[in-house]
Structure formats: C-alpha cells, structure tokens
Structure 1
Amino acid sequence: MTSGILVVGTIPPGTQDAVIGVVKGLEKAFNEKDPVALGGQYAEYASWTNARGTRLDGRQEIFESGAVALKSFLRDSFARYDVVKMLEAAPGVIAVNVVQIPVDSAGRAVDGTQGATLYVIAEQADGWHIVAGQNMAVDPQTV
C-alpha cells in the first residue's frame, strides 16, 4: 500500500501521480462546476456510465451531459474523490477505484449518498485520460 492506496501490480510512482492527477482534476472540475475541465479529463472516445445508469460515449457527449447536470441537479453538490485502489490492467492502463464523499462547499464531509466509482485511466498521446468508467451511488450505511 502506498499512502493508503492499495496498488496492485508494478505501477511506477510517476504513473501513480498522473492517475491521481486525473482523479483530482475531475474532482476540482466537479466542485468548480466547470464542464470544460470535467470533459477534458476524458479521452476523446471514452465511455462513461453515470450514477443514474446513463451511458455516455465520447468526450463531447460527456461534456454536454456534465454541463447540464452541473448547472441543474448537481449545482449545490460537492464531493471529495479518494483513490483507494489502483490495478495495472496493462502497460499504460490503470483501473482505479475511487470513493466519492459528499462535502460542503468548504470541503467538510456532510451526510449524503456516496459514490463508488471505477475509472479506467490510460496513457494517450496527449496525456492520461479516463477511457471508461462507471459511477454507482452507495447508501452511506452500507459502506
């Protein structure tokens, strides 16, 4: 385990940092309600299934959906994204388990539904990006 993160396989520290950077970039974009930055964390041809079970294909569709959600039903939602596990699926491809903790706008934990998210983050020509993922809402009593 590295810094509380279970690392499975041989993932170099620089790769771990890059993967965490993608997750933290997504967290920042979510909390700042910035759909452009949010979409930028995904690969051009990514596939994403949100907590409502809707599959979105491609960076543009993810951006468009995020733009609507961040301005409407997620406008008052904030979260902390904690990487809990990394698994090297193949060279340059890391599966990442993330726990999403609801927080207030100041970053303090609050009651609410948590997220259990799996991201597949891969090295692309323009850097590390999410290529696939799924978010699942979790009742905090079951976590």
Structure 2
Amino acid sequence: MTIFDMTDLADIEALVATVQHSQQNELAEEFIALFREDAIWTTAHGRRLTGRDEIASFTRQVLPGAAKEATATYEVAHVLFIRPDVAAVKIRQRPVRPDGTPLPDQNEGSPLYILSKEDEGWRIAAGQNTIVL
C-alpha cells in the first residue's frame, strides 16, 4: 500500500481544476505552468509534444479562440499513487458549451496524467489525451 498525504489528493484535484479553468478561459500561460520542464504531452489527435517549450508553442497557437463554441469539464476519476511523489491520474473530460451545457454530439475525453510532486507542487510529467469512441 502506497502511503500519501491526504492533502496530495486535494492538491491533485486543484491541479485538474486549474487545467479546466485554463482551458475554459483560454489562459495559455496558466496551462503551461502546470507542466514540468521535461514533460511529454500527447494531444487527443495523437500529436506528441516534448518539453514545456514545445507544449507552450502549441498551446499558444491553439488555445486562444478554442473555447468560443466548445470547451470541457475535467473530473478526477481515479488516482493511483505509484510512489508518494508520483501519481497516475485518470480524468473524465466532458465536452460542454461555454455556458456549461453538455454537447451530446461530441465524444468525451479520457486523459491520463502522470504527475510528479516537485518543490513548487504537483506538475504534469506526462499526459495522454484520448478521445472515447
């Protein structure tokens, strides 16, 4: 059994809430700050981004204007503490309109984040954003 501090769960939920906030409000810098410098991110369409600089460049191109017609909610579905400072976090990502009403004609997402606990708090070390078919 892995031992972890209960505040870690709250901190991880806060990180996921920040992902949602940054996406819904098109705040690229807030989103980028959630990543480790050496992070790996794979978009829902399979594009691999390596390192915070590449993630930042991509995010600054696609995030502005992205929430105009659709965005998403993010819910922590499961947390597996691999070690006290490493967690695998499964997310339920639901597409919604900017006013929060569901978009029934779009598939949900099922991201997996690998988080590491750094001096400044939990950060995304790796992420795979997968569309549920």
Q: Do these two structures clear the TM 0.5 threshold for a shared fold by scoring above it? A: yes
> Would you say how many aligned residue pairs link Structure 1 and Structure 2?
132
Partner of 2:60: 67
Consecutive unaligned residues of structure 2, counting only runs of 5 or more, are none
Cα deviation, residue 29, structure 1:
0.3
Deviations 1:31-74 (A, max 9, x none): 00111111011111111111111111111211211111113566
Residues 45/75 of structure 1: CA separation in 2 closer, same or farther (3 Å cut): farther
Partner of 1:32: 25
- Please give the secondary structure, in 2, of the residue aligned with 1:110: coil
Partner of 2:126: 132
- Residue 82 (structure 1) aligned to one of 67, 75, 78: 75
* Structure 1 range deviating more: 73-82 or 43-52: 73-82
Partner of 1:121: 115
Contact 1:69 1:75 in 2 (8 A): no
- Give the letter aligned to residue 95 of structure 1: A
Contact 1:77 1:102 in 2 (8 A): yes
* Structure 1 range deviating more: 63-72 or 90-99: 63-72
The separation in 2 between residues aligned to 1:54 and 1:96, in whole angstroms, is 20
- Please give the secondary structure, in 2, of the residue aligned with 1:133: strand
RMSD in angstroms over aligned alpha carbons?
Answer: 1.6
- Between the aligned residues of both structures, percent identity stands at 28
The separation in 1 between residues aligned to 2:129 and 2:94, in whole angstroms, is 13
The separation in 1 between residues aligned to 2:113 and 2:32, in whole angstroms, is 14
